[in-house]
Structure 1
């Protein structure tokens, strides 16, 4: 698009509806340490050329030497571009000695000499105290905005603004775009969120979008909230075995390819083992599969799998292990979707959904992640199995508080049952969308061949209160 310029980040360009508006005034706001200067330099180095250079102006917030020193630690910083396509200038001395009129004159002179296509003023807010008399800053802002509007350049004003200043500070009224960077604290976790408050002349993705800072700059993860899509898409009209012998015995013709299955049960019941059955079947058929785990690392999974003649080190199987301690859910979902696309995986095991829920910033965001993941997997024909740990060992009354069981195509409940001091495991198929299954509670055992059903017998001694739970 010729009326847009890249932000330096393809995912952020998606949030912005195609990039930053050209020949506009953009305000980037946020607290110290939120990445405003990194964002500004990322934008500059992604676009500047000797024919269309960038002019980076520091004021009195941070010394220019400090901006340059830390900028050189970033992977996109090109020392050869400095003085050729990226020009740095310190306005601090001019501001102290000659105030805002001096700054206005200096900026005008630099524009005439350098003829930049991009101008950054960092920090713009730091110039407020130099206004002096009442109304002087508004007069300065009017003259500066008029000068920049008459010259074909895109301006980025960086400042340590708070959210409530959007309504009070005059620079927000003249801005064509407002982008907020902020840190979000929830319990012991701290995450970063980007939000577009204003973007004249174009649409953008609303809401907050997670981002991370690194030597590569801002890595943005657009909010994953797929809208309902009523368009038809091809579904592979075939039923395939789950790969779990005990479960297949209760299904008439297997599950639909591309369906999602929720395995819910208490600790130690066999959820991960069932998941290994599920992906190992795909590997045995020569198909690609993925284990996305936050419960067990690859070494622990290999030890468990080897007991049943499987291996997680197969070329057809990818293990995406992430610790739930400092998990960025947005980043995790995008990495998983990218892995599904690049490998063409037919099956994915997500172990466990409870860890993903705990890492999500709020319940609504978790629902969005889950819906989008299931929706995209279905459209790609990828079968998804999710494990979910329940706190109750006996007498489960409900599965989850986040409607995971409603979204899943198939729901399987695993429970413990106590008989005169001997505890056994039971399996119940609660739901199979667009398919039939055998109802009832069946006992299963973990054998050398994996999970197997115990021959059907009377369930009259199944404990009181252990009926069918609320889905």
Structure 2
């Protein structure tokens, strides 16, 4: 007995035109689906719906925006005309606006359905927005009547190949008749965290595909909505093992001499921990000084501007300016402010992908920590971020500042040691009235290294470690480093 061939066809996707949203949805909305968009006033529903409409118009489609009890069309257009997606020339041929509240009031849901069918048919619309589902629900005599309205809307959407979005300010926590009928439910929200607020989007229901669960941060910018899928939900899979990733020099010959193989294992993640002034950024600049057009480098920092980093590099004889000019090195600076944690992660990953970066320095993990409205996410977040950077072929060196300026005991916050392969400690230690810098290699995964405390000096040759060979083959005397005096050839 032969099985009959399936008559089912694969549902086609509809791109939202909202950066990051299609990834959350697992590839976009399904064509001819019916979706509810929840959100309190001011959460971004109207901007999202208009962004969908104008994106479809740009792609050659047509959209109709139907309002019930909502702001006037002229007022709406005044509010959105400054957004970059808005295109006045698309009105009314490709994006049409219609008020149907009078029809709803006079003829009820039956009259409203007639209008919606006419608009789908006459405009050959592939997107229809109904703004004001609450008004339609209030006009329904019973829940059964509302279900019949949604069912007829779904039937019309499939017949005309039109994707429908129903906007409502009702609460999604209460299960309503319409919730059981639609293909998907999205919720927009804005929450206050002490003095700052953060917007988010959540997919509560999505038939036909696996969406990314949970809440995902979003921003409303001059370009409209932009969604930033949570790093740990989007990049949860561990990186695939790479064949012989090789070794990358730290840019400090005396440090390379302490490590088996002569540098950091390729595609590894390292953290340099130390108090202010111990040389964490200096170590990062050394690592980036070995960048090339074949092995580009990127510094992603928060506290020192590109100008200051270039000046610091010049004082130590590092060729930061020349590397930038050749395209081998890129400096990305984010000033202190209220940043979205996942936005910064995606900025970093996008730059690594776009520029084919192989050496990454994140100068100041605290810049990420301070942006987290949910600090309990930090360990999972950085574990997945580091894994994704490894998967993209990058070797990562991160710096983390500790509070104690002088001392021998250092505690690691936020579970840092769990998501890194290599761990370096830089510290100031008082010795008989003198303060000296010490370096300790505490952890290197699957790599042998030299144990112990190593005094080091930072001068016009950069960072030099006592008792170990320099690039010229000289040995730096421990006494000169311990006293703070420059080495013989500094």
Per-residue deviation, 1:193: 1.2
> Which of residues 240, 246, 269 is equivalent to 2:248?
240
Please list the CA deviations of residues 249-298 of structure 1 after superposition, one character each: whole Å capped at 9, or x if unmatched: 42242221222211001111111111111111225x87311110001111
Query: How far apart in 2 are the matches of 1:219 and 1:180?
Result: 15
Preserved contact between residue 113 and residue 153 of structure 2 (Cα < 8 Å):
no
| Aligned residue number for residue 55 of structure 2 | 46
Preserved contact between residue 57 and residue 91 of structure 1 (Cα < 8 Å):
yes
Summarize the alignment of residues 50-129 of structure 1 with structure 2, pairs less than 5 Å apart. 53-96=62-105, 100=109, 102-111=111-120, 113-129=122-138
> Which of residues 413, 416, 439 is equivalent to 2:425?
413
> How much is the aligned-residue C-alpha RMSD, in angstroms?
2.6
> Which of residues 191, 210, 221 is equivalent to 1:214?
221
Query: How far apart in 1 are the matches of 2:237 and 2:209?
Result: 23
Where structure 2 has 5 or more consecutive residues not aligned to the other structure, the ranges are: 1-9, 468-476, 483-490
Per-residue deviation, 1:150: 2.1
Which stretch of the first structure deviates more once superposed, 332-341 or 251-260?
A: 251-260
Relative distance call for 1:197 and 1:396 in structure 2 (3 A) is: farther
Summarize the alignment of residues 368-379 of structure 1 with structure 2, pairs less than 5 Å apart. 368-379=380-391
> Which of residues 179, 188, 191 is equivalent to 2:186?
179
| Aligned residue number for residue 297 of structure 1 | 305
Query: How far apart in 1 are the matches of 2:418 and 2:123?
Result: 61
Where structure 1 has 5 or more consecutive residues not aligned to the other structure, the ranges are: 462-471
Preserved contact between residue 427 and residue 441 of structure 1 (Cα < 8 Å):
yes
Please list the CA deviations of residues 30-65 of structure 1 after superposition, one character each: whole Å capped at 9, or x if unmatched: 122221111111212222489963221111121122
Matched, 1:145 2:154: no
TM-score if structure 1 supplies the norm length? 0.88
Preserved contact between residue 361 and residue 396 of structure 2 (Cα < 8 Å):
yes
| Aligned residue number for residue 7 of structure 1 | 16
TM-score if structure 2 supplies the norm length? 0.85
| Aligned residue number for residue 465 of structure 1 | none
Query: How far apart in 2 are the matches of 1:182 and 1:380?
Result: 33
Query: How far apart in 2 are the matches of 1:232 and 1:436?
Result: 20
Preserved contact between residue 15 and residue 27 of structure 2 (Cα < 8 Å):
yes
Which stretch of the first structure deviates more once superposed, 239-248 or 198-207?
A: 239-248
Relative distance call for 1:43 and 1:342 in structure 2 (3 A) is: same
Matched, 1:429 2:441: yes
Per-residue deviation, 1:158: 0.6
Relative distance call for 1:45 and 1:386 in structure 2 (3 A) is: same
Query: How far apart in 2 are the matches of 1:230 and 1:417?
Result: 39
Relative distance call for 1:411 and 1:18 in structure 2 (3 A) is: same
Relative distance call for 1:104 and 1:317 in structure 2 (3 A) is: same
Preserved contact between residue 246 and residue 444 of structure 1 (Cα < 8 Å):
no
> Which of residues 151, 160, 164 is equivalent to 1:155?
164
Which stretch of the first structure deviates more once superposed, 363-372 or 218-227?
A: 363-372
| Aligned residue number for residue 258 of structure 1 | 267
State the number of aligned residues.
451
